[in-house]
Structure 1
């Protein structure tokens, strides 16, 4: 809408049902979509390799991803993609401004925010605060049905998606003991010294 992009292409890697998500993205304003079919949920490195192949085909000026996956919370795909492409990256982006062949990213860090400037093309991973997704109106949902959605197979891209990680075990954290109320500072100091042995 600001004229910074001439075309928005959305990509998903997964099963056939991911078409619904891509159609929703087109109803929100994307111009076209690409679905890469994969039998099982690929690992972050495999996703980054698939996206690298898509980038080579599409030649975008900027790639925007979520900051982490909802299934494994890995927070790795964007960084791996930037590394494979040799592009600059702005992670945890809360604000993005494009101008004169570069992009300024305000990113969230532990101490507050950090501003970085990157030459385009670049990879951006979006934080929750980057924007408020628009509502997909009924007319736009109808228009999205006519927008192009290309379907590819991982094999078509020549990408090795062999799993390299194995989940050895999953366990709940140990149960914590109930807290205790103390009547005075002296009681607190005594319990910290004699029971918890931290002072």
Structure 2
């Protein structure tokens, strides 16, 4: 709100919200609000699993552009440029659409104190998952976490012939 939004919706819960539940909550908000463009971050800081934006697009039945490093809106279309292994890829989507962002999309802006004070007067609609008809109870159970087995150190070989010999006779992969 301090950076320019006119109003906000805050879905509040005490429960841990997993990616699918977050996507379902956002899908209900999208259904109610009918936005032209939904912009989400790429990953969450808690589970770091990069799923919510894609799940939201599937649930809402909207096109998606992921990992956006550049977004250009032109009428009823949006061009999303993203980095891929071979360089850059640009996709064009018809609005409304879902876009997940990459850290290169823009420079962070910081709110100024006067804008923070003005934001306190802007409407903030607080809802619960129940208000949206979504259950956020955890569907996943963490069984255990353990470190991976330590790897043995590698060796250097002096020639291609020595490498082929070791792969044939010791590793038995050739």
By the TM > 0.5 criterion, same fold? yes
Give 5+ residue unaligned stretches, structure 1: 1-25
Higher relative contact order (CA 8 A, sep 6+): 2
Q: CA RMSD in A?
A: 2.3
- Write the distance in 2 (CA, Å) between the matches of 1:30 and 1:149: 11
Alignment counterpart, residue 42 of structure 1, candidates 9, 17, 22: 17
Whether 2:158 is the aligned partner of 1:185: answer yes
Query: What residue in structure 2 maps to residue 116 of structure 1?
Result: 91
Whether 2:114 is the aligned partner of 1:139: answer yes
Alignment counterpart, residue 100 of structure 2, candidates 112, 125, 131: 125
- Write the distance in 1 (CA, Å) between the matches of 2:49 and 2:165: 37
State whether residues 103 and 118 of structure 1, in contact with CA within 8 Å, keep that contact through their aligned partners in structure 2.
yes
Query: What residue in structure 2 maps to residue 70 of structure 1?
Result: 45
Give 5+ residue unaligned stretches, structure 2: none
What secondary structure does 2:111 align onto?
Answer: coil
Aligned pairs, number: 172
What secondary structure does 1:136 align onto?
Answer: coil
Q: Return the structure number with greater helix share.
A: 1
The normalised TM-score by structure 1 is: 0.77
Whether 2:26 is the aligned partner of 1:51: answer yes
State whether residues 192 and 198 of structure 1, in contact with CA within 8 Å, keep that contact through their aligned partners in structure 2.
no
